[in-house]
Structure 1
């Protein structure tokens, strides 16, 4: 799967922002991270690329919230180098073309596929702190 750099992600998000047609993928409000609803067919989301820069390096679990947002906040920044974005894949809806971020939260006793709508406004090219 091809790695999406910040500019490619921004283009994908900007294109997605212009789509204004009804689709079953948007009945699920996902401005912030949510568990992928059981009613959303996973086959609807077609992989486009990944934000994982190097499959051999364990990315950080640190989150980027300079404005005091939380992981699931609708206005939380999408910062590709930070958790959970650094473990995401990007996909688009097979029917309408809207872009989504997808990753799997894996806890000690569960696996939870999660999604977030990819939008241009919250995208931030924030470097990791040294």
Structure 2
């Protein structure tokens, strides 16, 4: 059985991020709260998260850019790096949320030459960029 993952556009993602702003963090997802990209903690209970969807791709997604968007000199790892949905790695992310408090997260798998690393970052409304 194949599960279809909903495609979320920029407005959907903004709405998800904004809805969380007034909700306090819970103990279930505290270990996952990473302002910048981090490896998914081995101690985290993944069953406490639910997948909401994936970032909607333009076209068939095969031409998704590997370019990053850092207009203020941030880097991939910076906690204040913009979340630019049209740029790497956000254009290949899924949006997940804590089942208990609804805190939203971005998830992405980095495929290196000899490894795979699941990464997670808190979806913060203030960092969402209009860059596409």
TM-score (norm 2): 0.90
* 2:89 aligned partner: 84
Within the alignment, does 1:3 sit opposite 2:7 as a pair?
Answer: yes
Work out the CA distance in 1 between the residues paired with 2:61 and 2:67: 18
Work out the CA distance in 1 between the residues paired with 2:69 and 2:46: 28
Work out the CA distance in 2 between the residues paired with 1:38 and 1:74: 21
Deviation per CA, 1:74-111: give whole Å up to 9, x if none.
Answer: 10000001000000000111121110000100101000
Work out the CA distance in 2 between the residues paired with 1:56 and 1:77: 21
Root-mean-square deviation over aligned CA pairs: 1.4
Structure 1 runs, 4 residues or longer, greater than 6 Å off: none
- Aligned positions of 1:30-49 closer than 5 A: 30-49=34-53
TM-score (norm 1): 0.91
CA contact (8 A) 1:88 1:102 kept: yes
**Alignment equivalent of 2:80, drawn from 71, 75, 98:** 75
Unaligned 5+ residue runs, structure 2? none
Count of residues paired in the alignment: 127
SS at the partner of 1:31?
coil
- Aligned positions of 1:17-56 closer than 5 A: 17-53=21-57, 54-56=59-61
* 1:62 aligned partner: 67
